[in-house]
Structure 1
Amino acid sequence: MDIQVGGILGFLILVADIWAILNIVQSGSSTGSKLIWILLVLFLPVIGLILWFLLGPKSARA
């Protein structure tokens, strides 16, 4: 049972990281800051995702 739960959790983290990376690439930030955020999300998947969500560039959504 532990492997199944870990597999599902890992898959959800992977999907969230891919979503974050796509949003980072599409953001209007500079190339340098995009690269730093992408590396942070890739090397620290959970922490990087949380930090990007809280501190990353915000898009102008209405």
Structure 2
Amino acid sequence: MQITYLWIFLAVIALLLDLWVINSVWRSDNASGSKAGWTALVLLLPFVGAAIWGVSGPRGVAKAPSSAEHSKG
């Protein structure tokens, strides 16, 4: 019974990690084809794909559009 909870916990962690990495991939400045490739890698190999993205993925995310109109506090 305890082993079942362990597998459920690991599956939830893998799902959350994948969602975080996929969000990071699609917010990056890479081309769409590159984003699709990273997404496929992360979905096919959850922990390994996330580790590879963490090591070799881009370090920044796309900047949000900004203007004087949107920057009013």
Please give the alpha-carbon distance, in whole angstroms, between the structure 2 residues aligned to 1:30 and 1:21. Answer: 14
Higher helix content, 1 or 2: 1
> What are structure 1's unaligned runs of at least 5 residues?
none
> What are structure 2's unaligned runs of at least 5 residues?
62-73
Choose 1 or 2 for highest CA Rg.
2
Q: What is the aligned-residue identity percentage? A: 32
Q: TM-score, normalised by structure 1?
A: 0.89
- The size of the alignment, in residue pairs, is 60
Over the aligned positions, Cα root-mean-square deviation in angstroms equals 1.1
Runs of 4+ in 1 over 6 A off after TM superposition: none
- The residue number in structure 2 matching 1:59 is 60
The Cα offsets for residues 5-62 of structure 1, whole Å up to 9 and x where unpaired, read as: 11111101100100100110111111111111000001111110110111111116xx
Please give the alpha-carbon distance, in whole angstroms, between the structure 2 residues aligned to 1:50 and 1:35. Answer: 17
What letter corresponds to residue 31 of structure 2 in structure 1?
S
